[in-house]
Structure 1
């Protein structure tokens, strides 16, 4: 795959969470730094400088055209466990988009470094809670489907409608460019 067409593995999370946000950020370049973005960047910087296991590990998949960084790789029983750091609060289980991002990272890790991860975890900084994620064949398949959807969005002449509940739009860094309330009033809310 041509290097110009490699997508950031972190954007798998964005595309699963809100395809419109992915389109606005990645295709149209509408990147706005709000406090959520700045705090998340700071959290990842801290994660990469912690001692111990491997932190800030570059991975890629030529087959999928993905490249990015695994926040942390721990080892349990000789097997890699991928750890993703997120700014927010934990729910009873990892957020769906976070789990799919971990699966995409696992696919990249296996292809680029020959290490197969069967488990991962998401550490939610605001609640200081870790949620385990089983990297099942189904979840890995969902990651591949998310990448295919991202590529469809790249070919689209316009962004998709709003597909997330209004509560999810409140702190979004692309809210001004997205204008979700206006779209919902006009019937373009997904």
Structure 2
């Protein structure tokens, strides 16, 4: 499926969606947001990565910051923190540059590597956008974690790319229908910036109709 530009979702939303579908829906459908320490620190780290588009050369590598990206197959748009164009025998040509280059996206995160793959999915989504825009194949990328101050290399497999496409298709379905899913409360809810807006404990409560039926019964006519 190919999406029109007016139907594009925020590319970064895949991280919210993979973490908690309800969190994603509250942010991207209900337009709710609340800052906490983690979101503020994360935003400050991203501001250090780029302030608008810029580029610089470092030997055999061209670093580009804040590249706007999009994908019609995902129906998403966003920005890359950093894309490294590495000079190589194989790869793509760049306007105004000699030789060929491979494309290596780098995503910046404030914390440390997670047990889940939500950061990896966001990086994979960026790679899909770059592949479509530059007519290339991207097999590797990296995530820089501010807490440990080093990169973690990521192999961008076809399985990861297929999962990202499946998740975005699900996101579009939710968005088009305006569906706000319920959530099963977990320990992760305590760290969520939307905890006070989501009220996860309420999702465990039974509907009023169930209460009335159980406690009052139904009158026979």
Shorter chain as denominator, the TM-score bin is 0.7 to 0.9
Between 131-140 and 57-66, report the one with greater CA deviation. 57-66
TM-superposed CA distance for 1:176, in Å, is 1.1
Relative contact order higher in (CA < 8 Å, ≥ 6 apart)? 1
1:120 paired residue among 124, 133, 141: 141
TM-superposed CA distance for 1:121, in Å, is 1.0
> 1:97-129 deviations in whole A, cap 9, x for unaligned?
111111111111111233432111111112223
Q: Residue 171 of structure 1 corresponds to which residue in structure 2?
A: 191
Q: Residue 102 of structure 2 corresponds to which residue in structure 1?
A: 79
Listed as ranges, the matches of 1:1-190 within 5 Å are: 1-48=3-50, 53-76=63-86, 77=88, 78-91=101-114, 95-163=116-184, 166-184=186-204, 186=205
CA distance in 2: counterparts of 1:90 and 1:187, whole angstroms: 37
User: Which structure: greater helix fraction?
Assistant: 1
Q: Which runs of 4+ in 1 moved over 3 A?
A: 49-52, 75-78, 155-158
Query: In 2, are the aligned partners of 1:90 and 1:129 still within 8 Å (CA)?
Result: no
The TM-score with structure 1 as length reference comes to 0.86
CA distance in 1: counterparts of 2:206 and 2:173, whole angstroms: 23
TM-superposed CA distance for 1:10, in Å, is 0.5
The TM-score with structure 2 as length reference comes to 0.75
Quote the RMSD (CA, aligned, Å). 2.2
Q: Unpaired segments of 5 or more residues in structure 2?
A: 58-62, 89-100, 208-221
Between 64-73 and 114-123, report the one with greater CA deviation. 114-123
TM-superposed CA distance for 1:187, in Å, is 7.2
Question: SS of the residue aligned with 1:41?
Answer: helix
- Bigger Rg over Cα: 2
Q: Unpaired segments of 5 or more residues in structure 1?
A: none
Q: How many residues of Structure 1 are paired with residues of Structure 2 in the alignment?
A: 184
